[in-house]
Structure 1
């Protein structure tokens, strides 16, 4: 007499739960990477009508309304700013940086940083927000 088992173990593997986990990880990393790219220093950028997408430079000079200078979120004194930028960008093939100035920053502070870029022949971009 031949006996058959009624309860057999199913040896198949469902990929549905693994796919859900991968998508959740993908969403998590997309959200955290966009949050990291924003600077921690709060400034209100001026608006501009621009259709060109922005290009992210490796170095960002932030100028607050009170005249404080920051390079990549690190506060730098005005008299040490040029030396710090030169040492930061010395190994870069095409040195460039972005100026993030508060909309109420004095014009002379922005022109000072632009002069550093001109003296050292750095490419320069100015961060703005797009008009709505």
Structure 2
């Protein structure tokens, strides 16, 4: 009497578990990178109706309601802001920065930073929050 084994060795490799691990790592890095990119300086951003989020620039100029300027969370006096921005963005292929101004910031403070960008041909973005 011939007995057959029910369990045969399967020579196929399943990618299902590897795919699960890759997706979990991707989700983890997406969540942690968005948490890290937030600035430590608290300002109320104005709202805008925008449907497509843009990429975030590496340099951020934050303008507080009282007229203080910060570049990448470091406070810079108004008189030294232009020189500091030029030195910070020197050597970049497409120099650009984002303005994060409080919704109650004076218009002249924002225009001052926009003038620096215009004088040096820097690309500029203005951060807002999305309307609900």
The two structures have a TM-score, normalised by structure 1, of 0.78
Residue ranges of structure 1 left out of the alignment (5+ in a row): 1-17
Q: Alpha carbon RMSD of aligned pairs, Å?
A: 2.1
What is the CA–CA distance in structure 2 between the aligned matches of 1:41 and 1:127, rounded to whole Å? Answer: 14
CA deviation map 1:76-131 (0-9, x unaligned): 01000000000011110111110000000000100000000011111111000111
Q: What's the offset of the Cα at 1:58?
A: 1.1
Going from structure 1 to structure 2, the CA distance change for 1:22 and 1:54 (only over 3 Å counts) comes to closer
What is the CA–CA distance in structure 1 between the aligned matches of 2:27 and 2:49, rounded to whole Å? Answer: 31
CA deviation map 1:14-58 (0-9, x unaligned): xxxx99988776655443322111000000000011122222111
Residue ranges of structure 2 left out of the alignment (5+ in a row): 1-17
The two structures have a TM-score, normalised by structure 2, of 0.78
SS at match of 1:125: strand
Alignment of 1:88-107 (within 5 A): 88-107=88-107
What is the CA–CA distance in structure 2 between the aligned matches of 1:19 and 1:53, rounded to whole Å? Answer: 28
Which residue number in structure 2 is paired with residue 75 of structure 1? 75
